[in-house]
Amino acid sequence: MKIGFIGLGIMGKPMSKNLIKAGHEVVVLGRNPRVLDELAALGARSAATPKEVAEQVQVVITMLPNSPHVKDVVLGQNGVIEGAKLGLAVIDMSSISPLATREISQKLAQRGVEMLDAPVSGGESKAIDGTLAVMVGGKREVFEKYYDVMKAMAASVVFTGGIGAGNVTKLANQVMVALNIAAVSEALVLATKAGVDPEVVYKAVRGGAAGSAVLDAKAPLMFDRKFNPGFRINLMIKDLANALDTAHGIGAPLPQTAAVMEMMQALKVGGLGDSDHGALVRFYEAMAQVEVKRLPQPDIAKTTK
């Protein structure tokens, strides 16, 4: 299938690579010349504008930071909509506001263009190995038509309902992830402050009710003090802002989400906005005056003499 891919950042680049590996013809658009050269070496063609991408393909995938970026790329000057022909589909895999998704979809529909909102979860590592979780909203028949395209980038592709449902599901996902990271951070700071090796605590609890994918992904990075993204705090702030805005609009209070949002805002002010969201542990560390880290292991040879 001829596929356009717009947005070649931390997530978009490996996702587009997996489409190429799956045998699709891919036309890409991004800002980084080195990334474009890397993808060209794999067989991708590049375009100068979203309009030019749309003119050459059957489906356009967007993977962009937030609602304004998707609106500009799809609906703006030289946007996808200007190059759209009858039968084109847009799959937005960004994480944006459900209201923005519905607005974009309505305007595309006026031109005979179908849209799916299909945000992803899993971060860079799962984007690279093609095991993302994709949450899809739109018409079921459109979902089924492009299921195999999305499955080339993912381990799980789930239909969640009408247009916008994918992004509502992703917002729920991000609330769970953010609060889980906060809980992991809080617990490991408690263990450290109490004088117990946090890595031992992690190993002891991970097989029980407290175990989670977030715990397994983030705790080892905390111990090794590795906070390079991953998924940036700035992007989690964006997602939580969308979650809070949506929740306020429908009357669903999110008190714990609001608290974690303020913690992440404090880290952003402190210059950590581009760190991985696992750096949330540093907020707790600053209050407790401890550092969660991997401790030196005893020399077994010496202790057994």
- Which residues contact residue 23 at a Cβ distance below 8 angstroms, ignoring those fewer than 6 apart? none
CA–centroid distance for 285 within its chain:
26
Q: Measure the CA–CA gap between 233 and 215, rounded to whole angstroms.
A: 17
Catalytic-labelled residue, pool 51, 126, 170, 218: 170
Task: Enter the tokens of residue 153.
Answer: 């980038």
Residue 278 · residue 221 · CB < 8 Å = yes
Q: Which residues pair with 45 in a beta bridge?
A: 27
Amino acid found at 42: L
Annotate 52-74 with b (16+ C-beta within 10 A) or e (fewer): bbbbebbbbbbbbbbbebbbebb
Q: Measure the CA–CA gap between 296 and 183, rounded to whole angstroms.
A: 25
Residue 159 · residue 118 · CB < 8 Å = no
Residue 8 · residue 36 · CB < 8 Å = yes
For residue 170, indicate whether it is catalytic.
Answer: yes
The helix/strand/coil state of 39 is helix
Nearest to 64 by CA among 11, 140, 124: 11
Task: Enter the tokens of residue 75.
Answer: 């609906």
Where in the sequence numbering do the catalytic residues fall? 170
